[in-house]
Chains A and B, each alone.
Chain A
Amino acid sequence: MRARSLRVLGCVAAISLATAACGGVGDDTAGGDGSEVSFGGETTGGDGKAGGSDNEINVTGSMTTLGFSVEDEIAKARVAEVKQAYPDLDLKVTSGAFDEQQFLSAVAAGKPPSAVYLPRSELGTYAAKGALLPLDDCIEAQGIDMSLYRESAVSQVTYDGQIYGIPEFNSVRLVLANSNALQDAGLSPDDIDVSDWDGVMAASKQLYQTGGSGIQRIGFDPKIPEFFPLWVAAAGGELVSEDGQTAYLDSPEAVEALTYTVSLVDANGGWSDFKTFRDTWDFFGDNNQFVADQLGAFPMEDWYLDVLADVSPNAPVTAMPFKDREGNLLTYATGQAWSVPKGSNNPTAACAFAATMTSTDAWMAAAEASKADRKKSGGAYLGTWTANKEADERIFAEVYEPSGIESLDQAVKVLQSLQDSAIVDPPSPAAAEVKKAWEDAVLRALQGDQSPEEALQQAQKEATEAIADAQ
Chain B
Amino acid sequence: MRPETRAAYGFLSPWVIGFLGLTLGPVIATFVMSFSDYDVLSSTQWVGAENYRDALDDPHAHAALKNTFFYTALYVPLSIGIALGLALLLQSAGRLKGVFRTVIYLPVVTPPVATGVLFLQLLNGQTGLINNVLGTFALPTPNWTTDPMWIKPGIVIMSLWSVGSVTLILFAALAEVPAHLREAALVDGAGAWRRFYHITLPMISPAIFFSVVVNTIASLQLFSEVYTMYFGATTTPPPEEALFYVVYLFEQAFRDFEMGYAAALSWLLFLIIMAITAVQLVVSRRLVHYRSD
Contact = CB atoms under 8 A, between A and B. Distances in A.
Interface of A: 1, 5, 8-9, 12-26, 28, 30, 100-101, 104-105, 107-108, 129-131, 213-215, 225-226, 271-273, 275-277, 279-280, 432-433, 436, 439-440, 442-443, 447, 449
A271 B23 CA distance: 44
A100 B239 CA distance: 23
Interface stretch (B64-72, B118-126, B171-179): B118-126
B270 interface: yes
Nearest to A438: B237
A277 B124 CA distance: 8
Interface string B18-62: 010001001101110100001111111000000000000000000
Contacts of A104: 40-41, 257
B40 A12 contact: no
B211 interface: no
Contacts of B254: 100-101
Interface in B182-213: 213
Interface residues of B, number: 54
B267 interface: yes
A105 B259 CA distance: 12
B165 interface: no
A226 B29 CA distance: 38
A219 B113 CA distance: 33
Nearest to A99: B254
A214 B266 CA distance: 43
B236 A280 contact: no
Given A18-B19, A440-B237, A272 B124 contact: no
Interface stretch (B88-96, B100-108, B273-281): B273-281
A432 B255 contact: yes
Contacts of A30: 41
From A26, A108, A277, A433, residue with most partner B Cβ within 10 Å:
A26
A346 to B, nearest CB: 21
A18 B27 contact: yes
A25 B26 contact: yes
A20 B270 contact: yes
Given A28-B41, A215-B126, 16 more contacts: A12-B217, A17-B270, A20-B273, A22-B262, A23-B33, A23-B263, A100-B255, A104-B41, A129-B39, A214-B126, A272-B125, A273-B125, A275-B236, A276-B124, A276-B145, A280-B126
Contacts of A107: 40-41
Contact of A279 (B27, B145, B221): B145
A16 B266 contact: no
Contact of B19 (A8, A12, A14, A279): A14
B250 interface: yes
Given A16-B273, A225-B237, A276-B145, A21 B40 contact: no
Contacts of A273: 125-126, 143, 146
B235 interface: yes
A439 B256 CA distance: 16
B239 A443 contact: yes
B10 interface: no
Contact of A225 (B42, B143, B236, B259): B236
A443 B240 CA distance: 9
A276 B126 contact: yes
Closest 10 pairs (CB-CB, A-B)? A28-B43, A439-B237, A276-B125, A20-B270, A272-B146, A25-B29, A275-B146, A21-B30, A21-B27, A272-B147
B268 to A, nearest CB: 9
A15 B253 contact: no
Contacts of A15: 217
B19 A271 contact: no
A126 B218 CA distance: 36
Contacts of B221: 19-20
25 contacts: A5-B281, A9-B274, A9-B277, A9-B278, A12-B274, A12-B277, A18-B19, A19-B217, A20-B267, A20-B270, A21-B23, A21-B267, A23-B33, A23-B263, A25-B29, A28-B43, A30-B41, A104-B257, A215-B126, A225-B236, A272-B125, A272-B143, A273-B125, A443-B237, A449-B148
